[in-house]
Chains A and B, each alone.
Chain A
Amino acid sequence: MLNSRFIFLVLGLLLIVEGVFMLLSAGIAALYNEYDLPYHLLSSAICIGVGGTLAFVFFKAPKDIGKREGYLIVTLVWFVFSLFGLFPFYLSGAIPSYTDAFFETISGFTTTGSSILNDIEALPHGLLFWRSLIQWLGGMGIIVLSLAILPVLGVGGMQMFVAEVPGPIPDKLHPRIKETAKRLYGIYVLFTIIEAVLLYFGGMTPFDAICHSFTTMATGGYSTKQASVAYFASPFIQYVMIFFMFLAGANFTLSFSALRGRFSKVIKDEEFQSYFGIVAIVSIIVGGVLFYTKGADGLEQSMREGLFQVVSIITTTGYATADYLLWAPFLSIIIFLLMFFGGSAGSTGGGIKIVRVVLLMKNSYYELKRLVHPNAVIPVRYNTRAVGQGIITNVLAFIVIYMMIVGISMIIMSIMGFDLDTSLGAVATSIGNIGPGLGDVGPASNFYNIPNFGKWFLSILMLIGRLEVFTVILLFSPYFWKE
């Protein structure tokens, strides 16, 4: 039997947390004295009211939960957060369609950053802030946040932590899950503050600085401007964002080591090496080709444009300072392939994750060796340790399922009448939590014209991608529901 009472209790408590965060954006609305203030307060009241009732009714729920409850809680929390998080957009009339509001919200929470808004700047500050804040919350994770602040999740917390934090092998920073969560959020907050300050000095308004800082650290990609980061022409701002996107796409455990002065650990980390290597090489290629094809922009600008787009896509942020669809086909395809890589394990990025790609490559390479020496024992080494066969199988299964979902989803998109580019781009960007896709959903356009069914479908893909496939897919497997 599933411990459903506990699930309701957790949902209730987390809704209260969401309601409290809504008060923050209400504060911003009050500050700017705009029309959306009552809607923030109303949404917050709904969250706290419903959450409070659930928490009160199920307060005495038994606290023992197993793996199944863990997975269910994580998926439900993300879904329910989006359902309630859309109220400020919907109630205020800024996004009149319920479907659109849901799409915008889940795209926020999952740090995808695909938008249906045709005129972002028309939104009042409070809503723009909420739009950035939900990305920030989704970036490090709702469950991780609740582990840090709610004692009730102590039991079984590890289950949920594993289900939410990206990567095949979760790292702990402290023996206790609660302390680990606190430290992760500590670094997250610290980086966010530093970036906001730097952006402010780079010439952004404090409001834009905070909002962009939220969405950079979350690798989300929502901007407060219709033209995305291209609006800010300052190279300094762009470099700051490149740096922090890169940081957000790296493993936060490594950032923690670096902050403690253990740089050797960072440099020796295989995933970080690969991440750094891929970004460096691809950026140079892209920047070089850009300089070669439209040399008029100057070397620095070409390189910066290349670097920004590469980092933005590989970390699954999705900001744009240029439209890569207008680049040479060679470059668009490279950018498209980067969509599948994603950030590092333990980062806020989406996608398949560098570590899985590294393990896949290594295993494939060794497979060739194994063909020649059928009896040889050739373990896949990662960070100087042999990786267990279980993890390799898991990684392979992950990638296969990921690709299968991409394939099937493309077919579904094409049935709705989209061409190959658009179908492929929309699916890859949604499951990879990136933002811009290809074709009709490229960096210069948005998702407004997708039919309602398509929006719901892509929303689910985003959730599948954010929770790393297994957590969500598991709920659809008969094994999960069998006693």
Chain B
Amino acid sequence: MRIFIAGAGEVGTHLAKMFCNANHDVILMDEDEEKLKQVDSHFDLMTIVGTISSIEDLKEANVKSCDLFIAVPPYQDMSILACILAKQLGAKTTVARVNNHEYLLEENKLFFKKLGIDELIYPEVLGAKEVKASLKQVGTRQMFEFTGSKLVMFALKVRDNALIVGKTLAEISAMYEKQEYNIVAINRDGETIIPRGQEVLMHNDLIYVITTKPAVKQVMLDAGKKQFEIKNVMILGGSRIGKKVAQGLEGHYNIKMIEIDKDKAVRLADQLSHTLVINGDGRNLELLKDEGIKKMDAFVAVTGNSEVNILACQLAKKMGVKKTVAEVENIDYIDLAENIGIGTLINKKLSAASHIYRYTMRATVSHVKCLIATDAEVLELIAQPGSKISKGPLRKLNLPKDVNVGGIIRGESAIIATGDTEIEPNDKVVLFALPSGIAKMEKMFS
């Protein structure tokens, strides 16, 4: 698939790298040669110096042969304009990044479609959604629901106090008559392992579990996670994500928001009527103490500065906050932050990437989720009639080593997969795959 990425900012470069690794033909355009050079020397893609809103430059770059046009420049006006032009010039699907919530409303979809923009993404909103999801399920690092919320996948850190640490996966599944959950991957010291039955869980493993909704409690129990209800949330940073989170949580939780900029704080206070907006520096411990950080159940650090977010979360942890969420935009820090135990990490780029990713997949894919702290993906694939995957029980199919089937959604019911499970046509199959395995699995499903 030929993918044109307009704008080599953070999101653009990340998408370019990701698609490049997934073996797509990537063209990256930006005005700034320096930005392009960085990517060009390390990845097998074509970079073009040009203005993304210039018809001539787009023509020159042969935009008409592109299957997917993604506009992620710094300004939304430019992004919308570029998509309109690209569509007129012959790009098949266009995706624009915006930062105005109105545009995302269902009633405006048709309008943008008419203009030639097939999809709008708003990474901050996606980021805010992830924050909200993680606050709903305490104890987990990341949580993701599949079709109809029947299956959920989440990541959690297991420590010595967990029942399942020190056991092999085979022993864990033997604890139950019917398989309740599947551990599809383990992230140990920054390395992602697709475990087999003999793998032993260790202290400080980050495990990815796929299970049904009702079984979540059981998993939490086994993983030694105490359940507690979140009432008080402190948000550090009145960024777009911060604002979106506050708007979404207002009314359900007590929210305090700390913003360093006076004018911004005033504006936020005006817009967020049920949130207590505090003007001050979140790195100041006295201020945090004054605002009762010890009584907080959750601490969400979403300033524009990844370092501040990580450090503030560390501080909050030390003060006894159980659930911390940090926005880490610098992808190289993610491993680090994961290791020092900052609860949930969110990353706008990865959120946006997950969202766009499905456009590059074949029709068999109904859901994709890129994971933080590993380059693996969770996919929901539909088994086509006559496909290889629906021929016999899983253990006999010779599945690739870099893939693990977690569960199956068949009609209204959800099944946790075991070696004996047989996949029927039109089943939705949730699986965990390393990048090397994705293409192989796509083939098996079609």
Interface range, B side = 10 to 19
Contact among B2, B26, B44, B49 for A158, CB-based, below 8 A: B44
Query: Contacts of B43 on A, CB cut-off 8 Å?
Result: 158
Mask, B4-46, CB within 8 Å of A = 1, is: 0000000000000000000001110000010000001101111
Inter-chain CA distance A11–B46, complex, in Å, is: 27
> Which chain A residue shows the least CB distance to B25?
A175
Distance in angstroms between the alpha carbons of A158 and B41 in the assembled complex? 7
Known: A172-B46, A174-B46, A388-B33. A179 touches B25 (CB 8 A): yes
A-side contacts of B44, CB under 8 Å: 154-155, 157-158, 175-178
The smallest C-beta distance from B49 to any residue of chain A, in angstroms, reads 7
CA of A157 to CA of B42, assembled, Å: 10
Q: Is A385 an interface residue (CB 8 A)?
A: yes
* Nearest-CB residue, chain B, relative to A388: B33
Minimal beta-carbon separation of A264 from chain B (angstroms):
11
Q: If the complex has contacts A157-B44, A158-B40, are A175 and B49 also in contact, measured as CB distance less than 8 A? A: no
Which residues of A sit under 8 angstroms from B27, Cβ to Cβ?
Answer: 175
Q: How far is the CA of A388 from the CA of B35 in the complex (A)?
A: 13
> Is A175 a contact partner of B33 (Cβ separation < 8 A)?
no
Tell me the minimal C-beta distance from B417 to chain A in angstroms: 32
Q: Which of A159, A175, A179, A388 is B26 in contact with, Cβ under 8 Å? A: A175
| Chain B neighbourhood of A67, CB < 8 A | 41
Question: Is B40 within 8 A of A176, CB to CB?
Answer: no
A386: shortest Cβ distance to chain B, in Å? 10
In the assembly, what is the distance between CA of A388 and CA of B33, in Å? 9
> What residue in chain B is nearest A177 (Cβ atoms)?
B44
Q: Mark A52-77, 1 if CB is under 8 A from B, else 0.
A: 00000000000000010000000000
Beta-carbon nearest neighbor of A171 in chain B: B46
Residue among A155, A176, A385 with the most chain B CB within 10 A?
A: A176
Report the Cα distance A175→B28, complex, angstroms.
9
Chain A residues with CB under 8 Å of B40's CB are: 158
Taking a contact as CB atoms closer than 8 A, the residue among A157, A172, A177, A385 that contacts B49 in the complex is A385
How long is the Cα–Cα vector from A291 to B93 in the complex, in angstroms? 63
Distance between B65 CB and nearest chain A CB, rounded to angstroms: 10
Q: With contacts A385-B49, A388-B33 known, is A176 near B25, CB below 8 A?
A: yes
Q: Write the nearest CB–CB distance from B8 to chain A, whole angstroms.
A: 14
Number of interface residues of A (CB under 8 A): 15
Cα separation A67 to B2 with both chains bound (whole Å): 27
Min Cβ gap B25→A in Å is 4
* Residues 140-187 of A at the B interface (beta carbon under 8 Å): 154-155, 157-159, 172, 174-179
Q: With A385-B49, A388-B33 known to touch, is A175 a contact of B2 (CB < 8 Å)?
A: yes
Min C-beta distance of B73 to chain A, whole Å: 20
Mask of B184-226 contacts with A, CB within 8 angstroms, 1/0? 0000000000000000000000000000000000000000000
Q: Residue-by-residue, is B43-62 near A (CB-CB < 8 Å gives 1, otherwise 0)? A: 11110010000000000000
Contact A175 B41 (CB under 8 A): no
Chain B positions within 8 Å of A388 at CB level: 33
Chain A positions 180-231 with a Cβ under 8 Å from a chain B Cβ: none
Which residues of the other chain, A, contact B25 by a CB distance below 8 angstroms? Answer: 174-176, 179
Bound CA span A133–B2, Å: 36
In the complex, chain A residues whose CB is within 8 Å of the CB of B2: 175
Docked Cα-Cα span, A261 to B162, in Å, equals 68
Per the bound structure, the CA–CA distance linking A154 and B40 in Å amounts to 14
Q: A176 contacts which chain B residues (CB < 8 A)?
A: 25, 44-45
* Chain A residue with the shortest CB-CB distance to B60: A265
Query: In the complex, A159 Cα to B33 Cα: how many Å?
Result: 18
With both chains docked as a complex, state the minimum distance between the C-beta of A261 and any C-beta of chain B, in angstroms.
Answer: 13
Partner of B45, one of A155, A175, A178: A175
A385 contacts across to B, CB distance below 8 A: 49
Bound-state Cα–Cα, A178 to B44, Å: 9
Please indicate the chain B residues that have their CB under 8 angstroms from the CB of A178 in the complex.
44
Complex interface: chain A residues within 8 A of B45 (CB): 175-176
Write out the residue numbers on chain B whose beta carbons fall within 8 Å of the beta carbon of A157. 44
Chain B residues with CB under 8 A of A154: 44
CA distance A158 to B25 in the complex (A): 14
**Min CB distance, A272 to chain B, in Å?**
17
Tell me which residues across on chain A come within 8 A of B49, comparing CB atoms: 385
Q: Report the bound CA distance from A177 to B42 in whole Å.
A: 12
Say how far A390's CB is from chain B's closest CB, in angstroms: 9
Q: Which residues of B contact A174 (CB under 8 A)?
A: 25, 46
B22 to chain A, nearest CB (A): 12
Annotate A385-423 by CB proximity to B: 1 below 8 A, 0 otherwise: 100100000000000000000000000000000000000
Q: How far is the CA of A159 from the CA of B42 in the complex (A)?
A: 8
Q: Whole-angstrom distance between the alpha carbons of A175 and B26 in the complex?
A: 6
Give the distance in Å from the alpha carbon of A178 to the alpha carbon of B26 in the complex.
13
| Cα(A172)–Cα(B26), bound, Å | 12
Closest to A162 in B: B41
Residues of B within 8 A of A177 (CB): 44
B46 CB contacts on chain A under 8 angstroms = 172, 174-175
* Chain B 98-152 residues near chain A, CB threshold 8 A: none
**CA of A385 to CA of B51 in the docked complex: distance in angstroms?**
13
**Residues of B with C-beta under 8 A to A159:** 41
What residue of chain B has the Cβ atom nearest to residue A154's Cβ? B44
Q: In the bound complex, how far is the Cα of B20 from the Cα of A178, in angstroms?
A: 13
CA A178 – CA B45 in complex, angstroms? Answer: 10
Interface string of A28-69 (1 = CB under 8 A from B): 000000000000000000000000000000000000000100
User: Chain B contacts of A175 at CB under 8 A?
Assistant: 2, 25-27, 44-46
Instruction: State in angstroms the CA–CA spacing of A154 and B33 once bound together.
Output: 24
Which residues of A are found within 8 Å of B33, using beta-carbon distances? 388
How distant is the Cα of A303 from the Cα of B44 in the complex, in angstroms? 47
In the complex the two chains form, what is the Cα distance from A385 to B27 in whole Å? 20
How far is B33's CA from A222's CA once the two chains are assembled, in angstroms? 42
Q: Contact string, A343-374, partner B, CB cutoff 8 A, digits 1/0?
A: 00000000000000000000000000000000
Rounded to whole angstroms, the CA-CA distance of A176 and B27 in the bound complex is 9
- In Å, the complex CA distance between A172 and B46 comes to 7
8 Å CB contacts to B: which residues of A431-453? none
**CB-nearest residue of chain A to B48:** A172
CB closest residue in chain B, given A385: B49
- Whose C-beta in chain A lies nearest to the C-beta of B50? A385
- The CA-CA distance from A385 to B56 in the complex, in Å, is 14
Most-contacted residue by chain A among B2, B40, B46, B49 (CB, 10 A) = B46
Report the minimum CB–CB distance from B421 to chain A (whole Å).
33
Q: For residues 267 through 312 of chain A, which have their beta carbon under 8 Å from a beta carbon of chain B?
A: none
Give the residue name and chain of the A residue nearest to B34 (CB). A388
Q: CB-nearest residue of chain A relative to B26?
A: A175
Chain A residue at smallest Cβ distance from B33: A388
Shortest CB-to-CB span from A212 to chain B, Å, is 35
Residue of B nearest to A180 (CB): B46
- Distance from B195 Cβ to chain A, minimum over Cβ atoms (Å): 23
A contact residues around B26 at 8 Å (CB) = 175
CA distance in complex: A471, B41 (Å): 16
CB-defined contacts of B41 to chain A, threshold 8 Å: 67, 158-159
Distance (whole angstroms) from the CB of A175 to the closest CB of chain B: 4
Kindly provide the distance from the CB of A108 to the nearest chain B CB, expressed in whole angstroms: 31
Contacting residues, chain B, for A155 (C-beta < 8 A): 44
**Chain A, residue nearest B28 (CB):** A175
Q: When chains A and B are docked, how far (Å) is the Cα of A177 from the Cα of B43?
A: 10
Which 10 residue pairs are nearest across A and B when measured between Cβ atoms? A175-B25, A175-B46, A172-B46, A177-B44, A175-B45, A175-B27, A175-B26, A176-B25, A176-B44, A158-B44
User: What are 21 A-B contacts defined by CB distance under 8 Å?
Assistant: A154-B44, A155-B44, A157-B44, A158-B40, A158-B41, A158-B44, A172-B46, A174-B46, A175-B2, A175-B25, A175-B26, A175-B27, A175-B44, A175-B45, A175-B46, A176-B25, A176-B44, A176-B45, A177-B44, A179-B25, A385-B49
Extra A-B contacts (17), CB below 8 Å, given A158-B43, A176-B45, A178-B44: A67-B41, A155-B44, A157-B44, A158-B40, A158-B41, A158-B44, A159-B41, A172-B46, A174-B25, A175-B25, A175-B26, A175-B46, A176-B25, A176-B44, A177-B44, A385-B49, A388-B33
